[in-house]
Amino acid sequence: MHLISLKNIYSKQLPNMPKEYIVRLLLHYSHKSVVLLKRNGTVMGGITYRAFTPQGFGEIAFCAIASSEQVKGYGTRLMNYTKEYAVTMDHLSHFLTYADNNAVGYFT
């Protein structure tokens, strides 16, 4: 259920991204998703990435926070937690991402 809610956030925040592509990556066994939840269980956002463990890096496919939750610092927290998780669980040292001209924001 959380992944479907996350798919809806990705679709809304990334309107030029085909929904079929989002679903294919989000539900693919090689991709992992970190989901940010409110205390009541509502999905606020997430990051979906693929780990290339032998090479020591991960590729971020999607990163989005619900528009009602932006500018509250949740994106930074989510990215920091995802990096910590990837280092600890997947033994990654770097993240690779790509943003097109329609993307808003940045990664630090």
Q: pLDDT (tens digit, 9 = 90+) per residue, 29-87?
A: 999 999 999 999 999 999 999 999 999 999 999 999 998 888 888 889 999 999 999 99
What pLDDT shows up at residue 73?
87
Q: Which of 20, 59, 69, 84 is catalytic?
A: 59
Q: Is residue 85 part of a domain?
A: yes
What pLDDT shows up at residue 103?
58
The band of 106, judged by pLDDT with boundaries at 50, 70 and 90, is very low
Q: Is residue 21 part of a domain?
A: yes
20 is an active site residue: no
Residues in a beta bridge with 47:
34, 63
Tens-place pLDDT, residues 57-72: 999 999 999 988 888 8
Closest CA to 24 of 34, 10, 36, 35: 10
Q: Is residue 107 part of a domain?
A: no
Domain extent, residue 20, equals 1-101
Phi, psi of 102 (to 5 degrees): -95, -5
The structural domain count of the chain equals 1
CATH of the domain at 86: 3.40.630.30
Q: Is residue 106 part of a domain?
A: no
pTM, to two decimals: 0.85
Contacts of 28 (CB under 8 A, 6+ apart): none
